[in-house]
């Protein structure tokens, strides 16, 4: 049975461009981020989140995303990226309330220097005006093709300028028993 331990939580009291979780101990087998966040992109009801490891802007590849809304599906892959994109954040773009998106992000074998790091994320958001088709549930996967142990994680909004007040990012460590 796996043991899950809380490492740190950041709750935004003001708008910031990104959240960086640093000094991550290497004593766990895997990491998990649990996120409730919204960005300030004004033209859409949802947006894309991103991850960067150890401030690296290279070697993020093999991303595959799948999302659905009532009348559309999204499926694509990307390679040679400067970050890992993950779906979905809520935004201030539609409605009177901010629809915070939820993400659960698993970062596998983050401290193993013999293999690349893989990421699986599950997420979604729903527009608050009930007329938009921007209600999405997504499954994302990606890889960071470096064997460096991860000691810091940056989380941010791809198209908006800031993450909104009230956004929360919690980091957990997972140990095998």
Is the pLDDT higher at 72 or at 23? 23
Q: Which two tokens stand for residue 62?
A: 């093999």
Please give the pLDDT value at position 176. 81
Residue 51 near residue 37, CB atoms below 8 Å: no
pLDDT averaged over every residue in the chain: 82
Please give the pLDDT value at position 38. 81
**Given a cut of 90, is residue 97 above it in pLDDT?**
no
Q: How many CB atoms lie within 10 A of CB 35?
A: 23
Q: Which of 17-21, 94-98, 115-119 has the lowest mean pLDDT?
A: 94-98
Please give the pLDDT value at position 47. 74
Burial (CB count <10 Å: 0-12, 13-18, 19+), residue 158? middle
Q: How confident is the model at residue 135 (pLDDT cuts 50, 70, 90)?
A: low
Question: What ranges in the chain are assigned the alpha helix state H?
Answer: none
Which of 100, 102, 104 has the alpha carbon at shortest distance from 128? 100
Strand partners, 154: 20, 52
Residue 172 near residue 32, CB atoms below 8 Å: yes
- 34-79 confidence digits (pLDDT tens): 998 887 777 666 677 889 999 998 887 656 665 655 556 666 677 7
Q: Which two tokens stand for residue 59?
A: 């070697």
Mean pLDDT of 78-96: 71
Please give the pLDDT value at position 128. 57
**Given a cut of 90, is residue 147 above it in pLDDT?**
yes
Please give the pLDDT value at position 12. 93
Residue 16 near residue 9, CB atoms below 8 Å: no
Cα 163–chain centre separation? 12
Q: How confident is the model at residue 152 (pLDDT cuts 50, 70, 90)?
A: very high
Q: How confident is the model at residue 4 (pLDDT cuts 50, 70, 90)?
A: very high
**Given a cut of 70, is residue 22 above it in pLDDT?**
yes
Residue 111 near residue 28, CB atoms below 8 Å: yes
**Given a cut of 60, is residue 89 above it in pLDDT?**
yes
**Domain annotation for the chain: domains and CATH numbers:** 3-175 (2.60.120)
Mean pLDDT of 94-112: 82
């Amino acid at each position: 049975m796996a043991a899950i331990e809380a490492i740190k939580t950041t709750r935004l009291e003001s708008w910031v461009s990104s959240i960086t979780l640093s000094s991550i101990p290497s004593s766990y087998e895997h990491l998990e981020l649990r996120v409730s966040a919204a960005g300030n992109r004004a033209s859409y009801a949802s947006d894309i989140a991103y991850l960067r490891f150890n401030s690296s802007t290279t070697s993020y590849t093999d991303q595959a995303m799948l999302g659905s809304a009532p009348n559309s599906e999204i499926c694509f892959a990307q390679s040679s990226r400067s970050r890992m994109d993950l779906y979905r954040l809520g935004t201030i773009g539609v409605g009177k309330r901010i629809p915070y998106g939820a993400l659960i992000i698993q970062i596998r074998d983050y401290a193993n220097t013999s293999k690349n790091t893989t990421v699986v994320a599950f997420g979604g958001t729903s527009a608050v005006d009930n007329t938009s088709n921007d209600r999405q549930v997504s499954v994302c996967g990606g890889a960071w093709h470096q064997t460096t142990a991860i000691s810091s994680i940056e989380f941010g909004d791809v198209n908006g300028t800031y993450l909104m007040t009230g956004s929360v990012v919690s980091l957990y460590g997972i140990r095998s028993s």
